[in-house]
Structure 1
Amino acid sequence: MKKYFLLSFVLLCFSMFTSCKQEKVQPNIVVILCDDLGYGDLSTFGHPVIETPNLDELAEKGMKFTNCYSAAPVCSPSRAGLLTGRSPNKAGVYDFIPSPKKSPDCRDLVHLQAHEQTIPAMLKKAGYATCLSGKWHCSSRFNSDAQPKPGYFGFDHWFSTHNNAAPSHHNPNNFVRNGKKVGEIEGFSCQIVANEAMQWLKDKKNDKPFYLQVCFHEPHEPIASPKNLVKKYLPQAENENQAEYFANVENMDKAAGSLIKFLEENYGDNTLVFFTSDNGPETLNRYSRATHSYGSPGKLKGMKLWTNEAGFRVPGILCWLGKSTFNGTTDAIVSSLDLLPTFAELSGAELPKRTLDGESITSLINTGKKERIKPLIWAFYDAINEERVAMRVDDWKIMCRLKTDTAYIGHIHNLYEGNEKLVKEAKMVDFELFNMKSDMSETENVAQKYPEVFKSMKQKFESEYAALLEESHIWKR
């Protein structure tokens, strides 16, 4: 009897040890990032026409975030924020980064600087293999020794474009693989990007866990889509351009689906997949080439480049293949800034020794519950709407304009020596308060209706913005 008890005890201890060991296995991590995909562009987020069965299924198997935010309402700062877990203003990335052309506001200097600490670099130190496939847009001098390339920030393998796929999504010719130009590639950008990611995994000669960042160009202009999909949507579209936009989103879904299927078949025991967008949808005809921009903000106010919700409230889906997590839709507030601290906790990686603006959502993944401690704040000085600064705390969002003694500040692309004083001395004025739980469309300013809430939010807003300004990078030539 004693021998039987001892054997049972030993087996139990071994089982517990094995279980704990398995729990500590580092997960593979995949981030899929779309470009200009609107909050309402997926069928799982309510689009009445576009079919996105693969992402719908991913959401059904995992978690769908209805309060998911990007780090900025435009591409470059959004991507910088995702990579670093900090407000992009602290990295000095305030607006989209154009190709280098010397300008008085030092915009040609803007890039993700060498001292920035990123997700791939952090995970690489923790034993991960890392890959970037798709859009980069974090430097003005892409693939130049004058500024750090993606590989500098921890990507073992990178296959990227500076900004958009050119001349369009169809047969792009501007990809660079690990510093070498590739030339024209036949096919559509989204599948090309997915294929590169899958090929990298097939060629990987070690059993290290991996971090894979897949950055689709879709549905950013200049849009091109398969003819059969365009034809499919013509009966439901206003015109051929809209049909091409609808087809573009479905084509992206097909590419995402091929990647997800590959991951399920080969790494389905322990791979976390997070899908989102860099910002909200482009406004139709905002610039001359935006002729296909029929993206949907859903019920949200604004579009890309706005500090109203549609500028940076984006689709968010998380599915942990092979692991049981909270399943279903959650209205918990999450941000792309949260990815770095979350991945650190899940992988056992050491966090960067700096203050982060994101926070780990591991408890939310496991239980569906989390109390957010840090507010989300955006200062986007080139906003189309008049309110340049916004903050979200729990059910509340507060916004304001910025004014000097004589006038409201105009559109600013970059903070540099010449406008530092102007921006830092501008006063926060014309506050608006919205209850996001009851009014996601921002239709009613409730500052007077809830004076105590407004007073508290205004105080915190002023404090948080002052702290952000203090750490904002100022460019100098």
Structure 2
Amino acid sequence: MIHFATFSCAAIALLSCLSFEASAKDPPRPNIIFVMADDMGWGQTGYRNHPVLKTPNLDSMANNGLRFERFYAGCCVCSPTRASVLTGRSPDRCGVLSHGYALRHQEKTIAQALKDAGYVTGHFGKWHLDGLRGPGAPILKDDPYSPGHFGFDEWLSVTNFFDLDPLMSRNGEFEQKKGDSSDIIVAEAIEFLKKHKDGGEPMFTVIWYGTPHSPFKALDDDKVPFGNLKVDSENHYGELAAMDRSIGTLRSALRELEIADNTLLVFCSDNGGLPRIEPDTVGGLRGNKGTVYEGGLRVPAIIEWPSVIQPRITEYPACTMDLFPTVADILALPENVFVRPLDGVSLKPLLNEEVGPRVRPIPFRFQKQAAWVDNDWKLVTTKRDQGAAFELYHLKDDPHEETNLAREKPEVLAKLKAGYKAWNEAVEASFAGKDYAVGRLSEADPEPHSWTEDPRYEPYLSEWEDRWEFRPYIKRSKKK
């Protein structure tokens, strides 16, 4: 007869052994890299047959990953989209109404969630979530809205857009860099990966380019293929050529470091393409940056994860607000990593196979404009006032938004308007702070302003006024 205590101990030991064996066979958590261009339009890729721009490295990434035909930035300008990436929420909920607004401290970010889950986190490049406008300046060590306050262990960052030979900030210490901005931050991100790849912690890396945002300034060699264009367009496309090269450098490094297979690599842009750049930046779509038509919101996007994703193209409508929920779903993070309500959904099922219609519409508000994308249908208004007129488009049949179906489809119009208005009311409550644990804002949102008029930067103005990227802004502030 087996003694019960002996059996229990043996059983527990066996179960523990089996549990350990099962967990040992679980695949390691993926490294995660978010890469985002600054003002790159939906049409500006080789795989979309742009007439002058070649993007062999993005094309290769698209051929080896999940390429999105209908991917949306969180807003038609930059800072709000960056807030949507970090929070999974509409930027208006987070207080980031336009460019140069600060992300609220009461928000919860993907960097904080991953850091708590054991990831080492790094940010490289443009930040633009600290309430400062003007060209990208080094972020000050004591800036309460720096990347370090939102979950990034290490950062080499600037406040906004940046170009050749930038002056940057490494965790608050200024560093003068030499060369193209895209090459610089990718090289820094690779050093971060090399430093931590054998440290036992997975890595979360954010690379936010300053390309191809104005002022346009490309290396001479990168401008050669575009020498027949006007100066701004020549430099604009030269910057994009350099950015594509840096993506090739990054993907090669992932292979050399032997971490490519289990790295979730996401590429997208922060808003639609620019007007007055030739050839066209938005692939023939209606509108540009600053509008809620497709040209202002739809952006190139690719997710590459070789061990999981089989290459294909999807028409599924997705957005930057989906990125945090997707990562949380993949890693089974706890529910409390989010401030709710969320506006994004998890794309995890889509990584393996096509899925049915999107269950949650994609919402947009910007100044007096709004849009509501519900699969193939899209609601648009350019006057977010009481009783504003709404336009209705069927994007599958009319991707250029040429035919307003508001009168022909009153039932569809009424359904979408009801959904939008309910969401809009909820956003007003979020903006007032109702989503936070205390039910209100714990501090006032800082007023967006240029760093050239910020007392904290005053000691540096004389030293920086001869820098080509800062000179016009500093002179302008002195005249006020």
With the shorter chain as reference, the TM-score category is 0.7 to 0.9
- Aligned residue for 1:380? 366
Residue 333 in 1 paired to residue 333 in 2? no
Cα deviation for residue 147 of structure 1 reads 2.5
Cα deviation for residue 207 of structure 1 reads 2.0
- Aligned residue for 1:394? 375
- Aligned residue for 1:464? 423
In the alignment, the residues of structure 1 paired with residue 295 and residue 387 of structure 2 have an alpha-carbon distance, to the nearest angstrom, of 22
- Aligned residue for 1:259? 250
Query: How many residues are treated as equivalent by the alignment?
Result: 410
Residue 89 in 1 paired to residue 92 in 2? yes
Residue pair 2:319, 2:344 contacting (<8 A) in 1 also: yes
SS in 1 for 2:124: strand
Decide whether aligned partners of structure 1 residues 476 and 61 sit closer, same or farther in structure 2, where only a CA change above 3 A counts. closer
Counterpart residue identity of residue 397, structure 1: K
Decide whether aligned partners of structure 1 residues 451 and 118 sit closer, same or farther in structure 2, where only a CA change above 3 A counts. same
- Aligned residue for 1:4? none
- Aligned residue for 1:417? none
SS in 2 for 1:33: strand
Cα deviation for residue 72 of structure 1 reads 0.6
- Among 109, 114, 118, the alignment partner of 1:127 is 118
Residue pair 1:63, 1:328 contacting (<8 A) in 2 also: yes
- Aligned residue for 2:457? none
Residue 171 in 1 paired to residue 165 in 2? yes
Deviations 1:133-156, CA, capped at 9 Å, x for gaps: 110000125436352321111111
Point out where structure 1 has 5 or more consecutive residues left out of the alignment.
Answer: 1-13, 98-109, 285-291, 383-387, 404-425
Decide whether aligned partners of structure 1 residues 455 and 293 sit closer, same or farther in structure 2, where only a CA change above 3 A counts. same
- Among 355, 358, 361, the alignment partner of 2:344 is 358
- Aligned residue for 1:276? 268
Residue 369 in 1 paired to residue 355 in 2? yes
In the alignment, the residues of structure 2 paired with residue 56 and residue 18 of structure 1 have an alpha-carbon distance, to the nearest angstrom, of 40
In the alignment, the residues of structure 1 paired with residue 77 and residue 445 of structure 2 have an alpha-carbon distance, to the nearest angstrom, of 23
- Aligned residue for 2:189? 197
Residue pair 1:280, 1:313 contacting (<8 A) in 2 also: yes
In the alignment, the residues of structure 1 paired with residue 22 and residue 219 of structure 2 have an alpha-carbon distance, to the nearest angstrom, of 47
In the alignment, the residues of structure 1 paired with residue 358 and residue 173 of structure 2 have an alpha-carbon distance, to the nearest angstrom, of 43
In the alignment, the residues of structure 2 paired with residue 428 and residue 320 of structure 1 have an alpha-carbon distance, to the nearest angstrom, of 46
- Aligned residue for 2:441? none
SS in 2 for 1:193: helix
Cα deviation for residue 18 of structure 1 reads 6.4
Residue pair 2:71, 2:299 contacting (<8 A) in 1 also: yes
Counterpart residue identity of residue 224, structure 1: K
Cα deviation for residue 66 of structure 1 reads 0.7
Cα deviation for residue 114 of structure 1 reads 1.5
Counterpart residue identity of residue 204, structure 2: Y
Cα deviation for residue 293 of structure 1 reads 7.6
- Aligned residue for 2:288? 303
**Structural RMSD (CA):** 2.2
Counterpart residue identity of residue 118, structure 1: T
Decide whether aligned partners of structure 1 residues 299 and 16 sit closer, same or farther in structure 2, where only a CA change above 3 A counts. farther
- Among 206, 225, 228, the alignment partner of 1:213 is 206
Cα deviation for residue 21 of structure 1 reads 4.7
Decide whether aligned partners of structure 1 residues 85 and 232 sit closer, same or farther in structure 2, where only a CA change above 3 A counts. same
SS in 1 for 2:76: coil
- Aligned residue for 2:155? 158
Cα deviation for residue 476 of structure 1 reads 6.4
Identity value in percent: 32
Decide whether aligned partners of structure 1 residues 367 and 19 sit closer, same or farther in structure 2, where only a CA change above 3 A counts. farther
Decide whether aligned partners of structure 1 residues 186 and 328 sit closer, same or farther in structure 2, where only a CA change above 3 A counts. same
- Among 375, 390, 396, the alignment partner of 1:431 is 390
In the alignment, the residues of structure 1 paired with residue 297 and residue 432 of structure 2 have an alpha-carbon distance, to the nearest angstrom, of 22
- Aligned residue for 1:181? 174
Structure 2 length as normaliser, TM-score?
A: 0.81
- Aligned residue for 2:439? none
- Aligned residue for 1:53? 56
Decide whether aligned partners of structure 1 residues 370 and 17 sit closer, same or farther in structure 2, where only a CA change above 3 A counts. farther
Show the 5 A alignment for 1:127-146. 127-140=118-131, 142-143=139-140, 145=142
- Aligned residue for 2:68? 65
Point out where structure 2 has 5 or more consecutive residues left out of the alignment.
Answer: 1-16, 133-138, 434-443, 447-480
Cα deviation for residue 455 of structure 1 reads 2.0
Counterpart residue identity of residue 374, structure 1: R
